[in-house]
Amino acid sequence: MNNRIWMIGAAVLLALAVGIGAFGAHGLQPTLEANGRMDTFETAVKYHFYHALGLLIFAIWKQLQPTVKHLNLSYLLLTIGILIFSGSLYVLSITGITWLGAITPLGGVAFIAGWLNLIRVKA
């Protein structure tokens, strides 16, 4: 995968984390408090942000060492983790659709697999 795409992906996901977090804190606060889901929403934003920062680190790493092996899979797994883990918690927080909580752990597994995959990374 092209390093420029990695940088763009990380930047977009980081910008979304800030935007979604701000929107939740201001625009959605009454809804989230009424649903009792403010903590869930904050967890989604926190994990979204942490892992998007990880993607930025991977993009910088790839820029510095273009021949690094296995980093692509970690990047992909963290991206999937953000979409499934944080995405399902965002929707759950706003809509109250509780069955989404059943898929959230799949995103967590993707996060764990992405980080553990770094064990295989070779420069």
pLDDT per position as a tens digit, 51-94: 999 999 999 999 999 989 899 999 999 999 999 999 999 999 99
Domain with 52, as residue range(s), is 3-120
Instruction: State the angle between helix axes of 38-64 and 3-26 in degrees (0 to 180), rounded to the nearest 10.
Output: 160
d(CA 10, CA 49): 10
Number of domains in the chain: 1
Residue 117's SS3 state is helix
Per the structure block, which two tokens stand in for 122? 């070779």
pLDDT at 7 over 80: yes
Q: Measured between alpha carbons, how far is 74 from 65 in angstroms, rounded to an integer? A: 15
Q: Per the structure block, which two tokens stand in for 13?
A: 């996901």
* pLDDT confidence of residue 65: 92
Q: Which phi-psi region, left, alpha or beta, contains residue 69 (left: φ > 0; alpha: ψ -120 to 50)?
A: beta
